[in-house]
Amino acid sequence: MTPATRQSVLGLYRKVLHIAKTWQSASGQPEETTREKEYIRNEARTLFRKNKNVTDPKLIKQCIEECEARIEIGLHYNIPYPRPIHLPPMGLAHKQGRTLRHQEKLRKISKPIYLKSHDEIS
């Protein structure tokens, strides 16, 4: 990892921890605010520790983009949890064959970047 990349990753980690410290829930309830702050801290620790040994520059860039997207979406909607996506169900495909593989590929491609690591942890 280059020093510039390391600095940007550490800067993102500090930014997430700062957001967790100053976070206010949308409802304004103290219990909910505490729960959401803890979620932000735990999610950041989990994801950053999971990816600490990543050395591939493309994968590092993808992780940085995902982190930035989750920060922006969380601040915009005032929701710390990943926003769900609504993909069409795969009910029209046969249980095997090219159509099913094609639909699975389309669903994988259409998944937003901010949900990639969330599915791996949950």
pLDDT of 101 reads: 74
pLDDT of 114 reads: 61
Q: Please, how many CA atoms are within 13 Å of residue 34, restricted to the half-sphere of its CB?
A: 3
pLDDT of 89 reads: 59
Which residues does the chain have with pLDDT short of 70? Answer: 84-99, 107-122
pLDDT of 12 reads: 96
3-class DSSP state of 85: coil
Nearest in space to 43 (alpha carbons), one of 81, 10, 97: 81
Q: Are 32 and 49 in contact (CB under 8 A)?
A: no
Structure tokens at 113: 């970047």
pLDDT of 75 reads: 93
pLDDT of 41 reads: 96
